[in-house]
Amino acid sequence: MATPAPVVLVIEDDPQMRRVLVAALHNHGYHVVESGTAREGLAQATGRNPDVILLDLGLPDGDGLDLTRKLRPKTRVPIIVISARGQERDKLAAFDLGADDYLTKPFSLNELLARIRVALRHAMAPLGAEDAVFTVGDVRVDLGLRRVFRGTEEVHLTPTEYKLLATLVRQAGRVFTHRQLLETVWGAGQIEQTHYLRVYMAQLRHKLEPDPARPRLLVTEPGVGYRLRDE
Ligand code: CA
């Protein structure tokens, strides 16, 4: 056992929910730090150096969204929001503030554990990993060579299509909001041009998906944005 257990910070005020989460995470080999308030959670997030944060939104002394806003300038630690609020606008706000994932309560523990594994994988493969080759299904994206394959066939993408795909690939599994994708691929002046995204996403699906009308790889998060499925 050379590597220490990843540290998960659970910020959740419901004692029963917290007990269930802590027990499950312990059982799966994680080291757990827990907090029932926004204030203590913020202190632990910066002081205890967690590998992942599970964050409830409704906390007695504040809102998880405010906590995300405060944390993001200080740390890139993955934040998985766990909330009973399932509205698109709550998700959108969380992702725009820099949350990495969002689970609406009630969720299954298996689902949560899967999301934690994805978040940890991202954290260990930082954004600049340009030599990485990403494979999902029969699609292979070579970020070093800037080439894309479906099976053995090379897929020819326009520079913008490639930039959009590469952005999603570098953090596969993570949800990007429309705004984040427009800003990254087209630039900060274009964040209102959501039709660009629709057009280019349709082109990418046409080139990469077996059935572009039922995408399995380039997945829509309704009202929020897109994610590249990575399993
Ligand atoms: Ca709560």
Domain 7-124 grouped into CATH 3.10.310.10? no
C-alpha span between 72 and 176 (Å, rounded) = 16
Cα(60) to ligand 1 centroid in Å equals: 7
Q: Domain map of the chain by residue range?
A: 7-124, 133-228
Residues of the chain with pLDDT under 70: 1-2, 125-131, 231
Cα gap 135→139, rounded to integer Å = 6
User: What's the pTM value of the predicted model, to 2 decimals?
Assistant: 0.80
- Spacing, Cα 180 to ligand 1 middle (Å): 28
CA distances from 5 to 10, 27, 62 (A): 15, 12, 30
**Top CATH class, 133-228:** mainly alpha
Distance from the CA of 114 to the center of ligand 1, in angstroms?
22
Reported as type and span, the H/E element at residue 184 is helix 178-185
| Predicted local confidence at residue 134, as pLDDT | 87
Would strands 153-155 and 175-177 be described as parallel, antiparallel, or unpaired? unpaired
Contact 21, 10 (CB under 8 A): yes
Q: Give 3-state DSSP helix, strand, coil % of the chain, rounded to 5.
A: 40, 25, 35
- CA of 68 from ligand 1 middle (Å) equals 15
Half-sphere exposure of 103 (CA within 13 A, CB side): 20
What's the 212 CA to ligand 1 centre distance in angstroms?
Answer: 39
> How far does the centroid of ligand 1 lie from the alpha carbon of residue 31, in Å?
22
Residue 199: CB atoms within 10 A of its CB come to 12
- Enumerate the β-bridge partners of residue 136: 139
Compute the distance between CA of residue 86 and CA of residue 209 in angstroms, rounded to an integer: 28
Could you check whether 7-124 and 133-228 share the same CATH topology?
A: no
What's the 27 CA to ligand 1 centre distance in angstroms? Answer: 23
- The strand pairing partners of 196, in sequence order, are none
Q: How far is the CA of 82 from the centre of ligand 1 (A)?
A: 9
Ligand 1 center to residue 43 CA distance, Å?
18
Residue 118 CA, ligand 1 centroid: distance in Å: 24
Q: Is-cis flag, bond preceding 106, omega within 30?
A: yes
Contact 95, 177 (CB under 8 A): yes
